[in-house]
Amino acid sequence: LSPGQRQENESKEGLGSHGGAARGGMELPPLSLHAAPGNEGFANTSAVHPLDPLSLSELETAGLLAGSAVALATREPLPSLRFSDLSLLEPPKHRLLTFRGHAREGLPRIALATAYSVSSGKVYRVSVDLHARSTGRVEHVPNVQPPFSPEDYEICEVVVRGHAGFRDAIQGAGLNPDKVMMDPWSVGYFGPQDAPSRRLAWPLMYYKERTEDNTYARPLEGLRVLVDLLKRTVVEFEVEQGGIRVASPDEAPYMTYPAPAQQRQDLRDLLVMQPEGPSFSLRGNHLYWQNWSLRVNFTAQEGLVLQMVGFKDNLKAQGGLLRPVLYRVSFAEMVVPYGDPAYPHYKKNAFDAGEDGLGANAHSLSLGCDCLGTIHYMDAALGPLAPGGPARVIRNAICIHEEDAGMLWKHKDYRTDTSEVRRARRLVLSFMCTIGNYDYGFYYNLMQDGTIEMEVKLTGILSVGNLGPSDLGSASGHRPYGTTLHCNRGKGTGLFAPLHQHIFCARLDTCLDGVANRVKEMDSHPSSPGPSNPHHNAWTVQERLLTSELQAQRDADLAKERFWVVESSGAKNRTGKPTAYKLVARDPIHIMARDQAAFLRRAGYTKHTLWVTAYQPQERFPGGEFPNQDPRPLCGLPLYAAKDRPLVDKDVVLWHVFGAHHVPRLEDWPVMPFEKVSCVFKPFGFFDASPVLDVPVATKRQMLLSTSNRHVHTAPTPRGNHHKRQSFPDLSLCPQSRL
């Protein structure tokens, strides 16, 4: 389709449209927000904005222009080009901070394309001005490999299946080659053999006899295979000395889910009712809820991104003053290193964002299955995989809904026997992705008191391995590098789950009451014994100003109840102190691998709980822009911080590292219940008083509705808007899932 036809179709489908938001199925009047001078851009509630993600027509136009420019400048055949990324190049921050215009007047609309040639293996970058329909200079990016694409996964499997040695080895073990399942993994970088001059992948293999079986229940080991994705050939193939190993069906328990008749029969319906619709409003990608104002975005690497995040302070001015909190916040990277020294487990060091893409692997969410209640869904648009190809759409990629969050505050006066209590709500913005065996839910939980919680929920299926006689015959009777899930000591076989860690990095580009901020480390210390502490109960909080990037590489310290505070350089609260937020490390994690571990060349950011750097728009990812097969000894955050730039009263970025230290349990098999990890960014003298005093008492109607399940309401879907509102699903719509 031509861009014009595509745009017309987008309007018909609701994709890329920016019509007025709806609430309770009714049109809302325009919001009127006010911000202090210099921060006016945070109060811009326009439905069409320079930060809006590229529409389908823009993505396809950019793909055509970028592909043609690369082919013309480099003589690469146009059919050989692929895009690893094609997305909006965000306008300069200083322009957006004061941008109060409507639509996008005065600001360029630029797409940035990263392309690689499947003929030469070279990687190129080029920008596209969508207003002028012109391209910038094509740049060659040497010595890098882009993240995997859907085509790469398919190539790896097709090449291995077509390899005669593979089929002979599998058949020689008495197995059917067509029943071998493969998950392609990046080789990472263990030495010169993994240099990015080749685009490499290795398959992790499993044996699956029936469609309904758990794909990951029977790992197939004993084969070492390496694939060159560009040459589409197997470059290394080895059958290990012990031969091919795979558990028999009776040695791989829980290969399927229980049938419906075997499931619990005493669980009654729990309905979430909002007869008047939710309390938030959406105009295009602008979201407003309970004094929060922000913009919703989505990228292939990070997934869901929040931008221009501000909070309307009703204590500051009549009608409220919208105060900046965060310019941009995202889950920027994650790595999952495994702790078993044997092949293939030592090679499992997946950079799920940088090597695969959190957003690129996002789900289309299902009402009642993934999200419950009155839901707004937003679609995500990703760039075409090749010039001239269609843009990709992930329907219902983002879920937005309100949740009851228990009590917000309460006090009972025992003298008068009266109570004041308020119920709390939170607004949840989320997406989910599956990368191989694991599923991840990424959540931004906005609280009514100005707190933001960034939460990750881990589920899915453990990546397991086979046990042998040497493991079961050891002194402990188990393999020390994991948890035994099943064993047959008579046969000397079994199944185990290796130890591993899930390490996430949240990137918080702060803008506390303006772009100039400073960061302090706060440690609690018991006071020394003496005249000033006669009862030995005193303790104080000591502040340490983080003045430069090398100093601002900090670790959690439970003994000191350490947290970090971001202060405004100009604004003061009513006590004369700088307005501030604090970052609480709820789930800090200590990397277990030694410093010499190969993957730490690319994952140096995991060595500290907090990094603070000076803002640079190019410094977006803690593992670097191209972690796939990256040979550099210094990349990403350690490279950024090595510049040792000053941080006091500057535009700063916080990088918080947190995660799950996973010693697998029997209860994690065959599918893992959600494991939650999170961090919190909350007001710390930002407001002059509690910002939730004005939250109303729950009405009698609300209390009656909460005790009744007789009425089910479905709010209408607003016309011409791609934010689809639905509620109260028939749970029979959730398919009976199978592993």
Residue pair 564/654 in contact (Cβ under 8 Å)? The answer is yes
Catalytic residue among 438, 440, 481, 640: 438
Mean pLDDT of all residues in 312-327: 91
Q: What is the pLDDT of residue 700?
A: 58
pLDDT tens by residue, 561-594: 999 999 999 999 999 999 999 999 999 999 999 9
Classified as helix, coil or strand, 559 is helix
Q: Last residue of some domain: 82, 109, 141?
A: 141
Q: What is the pLDDT of residue 706?
A: 54
Classified as helix, coil or strand, 172 is helix
- Candidates 157, 240, 172; CA nearest to 206 is 157
Q: Give the whole-angstrom CA distance, residue 635 versus residue 629.
A: 12
Q: Last residue of some domain: 120, 141, 162?
A: 141
Tell me if 181 is assigned to some domain: no
Q: What is the pLDDT of residue 252?
A: 65
Q: Give the whole-angstrom CA distance, residue 197 versus residue 120.
A: 10
Mean pLDDT of all residues in 93-98: 94
Q: Is the peptide bond before 480 cis (omega within 30 degrees of 0)?
A: no
Question: Helices 164-172 and 150-161 sit at what angle, rounded to 10 degrees?
Answer: 60
pLDDT at 611 over 60: yes
pLDDT at 396 over 60: yes
Read off the CATH number of the domain in which 393 is found: 2.70.98.20
Q: Give the whole-angstrom CA distance, residue 719 versus residue 465.
A: 51
What's the residue count for the chain?
A: 739
Whether 438 is a known active-site residue: answer: yes
For residue 627 the two structure tokens come to 């972690």
411 CB-near residues (< 8 Å, 6+ apart):
419, 420, 421
pLDDT tens by residue, 493-530: 899 999 999 999 999 999 999 999 999 999 999 999 99
Residue type, 113: A
Q: What is the pLDDT of residue 712?
A: 36
- Helix (H), strand (E) at residue 61: helix 56-74
pLDDT at 319 over 90: no
pLDDT at 697 over 70: yes
Higher pLDDT: 181 or 726? It is 181
Catalytic residue among 85, 313, 352, 379: 352
Tell me if 531 is assigned to some domain: no
Q: Give the whole-angstrom CA distance, residue 325 versus residue 583.
A: 13
Whether 352 is a known active-site residue: answer: yes
- The fraction of the chain above a pLDDT of 90, given in percent, is 76
Tell me if 64 is assigned to some domain: yes
pLDDT tens by residue, 37-46: 888 888 888 8
Phi, psi (deg, nearest 5) at residue 62: -60, -40
pLDDT at 434 over 50: yes
Q: Give the whole-angstrom CA distance, residue 182 versus residue 185.
A: 9
pLDDT tens by residue, 243-254: 999 988 776 666
Residue 330 CA from chain centroid, whole number: 7
Q: Give the whole-angstrom CA distance, residue 196 versus residue 142.
A: 9
DSSP state of 150: H
H-type helices in 75-208, by residue range? 93-96, 150-161, 164-172
Mean pLDDT of all residues in 437-444: 98
Higher pLDDT: 4 or 435? It is 435
Domain that holds residue 710: 282-456+502-520+546-733
Mean pLDDT of all residues in 426-447: 98
Higher pLDDT: 440 or 4? It is 440
Confidence of residue 491 (pLDDT cuts 50, 70, 90): confident
Tell me if 202 is assigned to some domain: no
pLDDT at 719 over 90: no
- Candidates 642, 660, 674, 654; CA nearest to 592 is 660
Confidence of residue 488 (pLDDT cuts 50, 70, 90): confident
Tell me if 238 is assigned to some domain: no
pLDDT tens by residue, 406-424: 999 999 999 999 889 999 9
Read off the CATH number of the domain in which 61 is found: 3.10.450.40
Mean pLDDT of all residues in 216-239: 97
For residue 622 the two structure tokens come to 């803690």
Q: Give the whole-angstrom CA distance, residue 108 versus residue 462.
A: 46
Q: Last residue of some domain: 90, 117, 141?
A: 141
Tell me if 98 is assigned to some domain: yes
- The fraction of the chain above a pLDDT of 70, given in percent, is 89
Tell me if 216 is assigned to some domain: no
As for how many domains the chain has, the answer is 2
**pTM score of the predicted model:** 0.92
Using only C-alpha atoms, the chain has a radius of gyration, in whole angstroms, of 27
pLDDT at 18 over 50: no
Beta bridge partners of residue 581, listed in sequence order: 566, 683
CB atoms within 10 A of CB 729: 19
Tell me if 129 is assigned to some domain: yes
